[in-house]
A = this chain, B = another copy of it.
Amino acid sequence: METSSIKKLEKFEVQEIIRQALREDLGGYGDITSKYTIPSQSTSCAFAVCKQKEGTVLCGIDIMQFVFEEIDKRVVFEKLKQDGDFLNDRDIICRVKGPSASILSAERTALNFLQHMSGIAAFTSKFVSIASKYNIKVTDTRKTKPGLRKLEKYAVACGGGFNHRYGLFDGVLIKDNHIVAAGGIANALKAAKAMAPHQLKIEVEVKTFAELDEAIANKADIVMLDNMSAEQMSEAVKIIREKTSGACLIEASGGVTLESVEDICKCGVDIISAGCITHSAPAADFSLEFE
């Protein structure tokens, strides 16, 4: 099966997030410990190293470089690994060389990006290694940390996952609450099909077989099976495949965990979307060590 190809984040896409993170850490007087303790002419070499016993997936190496550049253009950054690489404990991912105070001022902000993004990439890759055996795509959701969606969705791709819609603006996904407010699936689907930009498929969330029938009857392009049991899901997949001759995509969603993902795969869906890969991935451990 196809695997997601990792696409580099360009500097102009992330610069504002980086600046805000630095402002957050350096507000007021800036890095006073370095200012007060380190001679201004002092230069250092340092390297960043993986400290995760079981290894991790690298994500954020370019952003790390942007952070150092933003603080001081004189810092030389040598990249030894690429985003998406699997790392073993004690693998060195980059070296930096330059004014000591600048390296220290950038250190924590750079590592904060790295540990967060690599944590997501590594957690995602665990889901992918299971689902890919069944030729099923794992995608993210919109359950991301406020302001960090671009980075978190990029990390999902680095871990081998695929991206679902980015926000409310680039996909039509009719969920339970919309169905209530719209007065039923038929109403909602008809309105969306008539008015949405024509390049968008229309997706509907269903919880029951009655809803499923209504979704199929009104030509949903994608059906999301929400919080169904494995048995129900298998049955739903069978119905959809028969009635739509394969024209309708099937997505499973709702409380997917590392423990439950294989059972869902066995139901034969096309896509599994998992909120936990972005909202609950533990950080990966890295540190910057001076030589």
Which residues of A come within 8 Å of B, CB atoms?
2, 4-5, 7-8, 10, 12-13, 17-22, 24-40, 42, 44, 46, 70-72, 100-101, 103-105, 107-109, 111-113, 115-116, 119, 137, 139, 142-150, 153, 162-178, 180-182, 187-188, 191-192, 194-201, 203, 221-222, 247, 249, 251, 270-271, 275-276, 279-280, 282-283, 288-290
Contact = CB atoms under 8 A, between A and B. Distances in A.
A108 B84 CA distance: 29
Nearest to A21: B146
A167 B24 contact: yes
Contacts of A2: 194-195
A250 B40 CA distance: 30
Contacts of A116: 145-146, 279
Given A29-B153, A119-B279, A199-B200, 19 more contacts: A8-B40, A26-B169, A33-B178, A36-B191, A36-B196, A37-B172, A103-B177, A104-B177, A107-B177, A111-B143, A112-B145, A115-B279, A139-B198, A165-B199, A177-B288, A199-B201, A201-B201, A280-B282, A282-B282
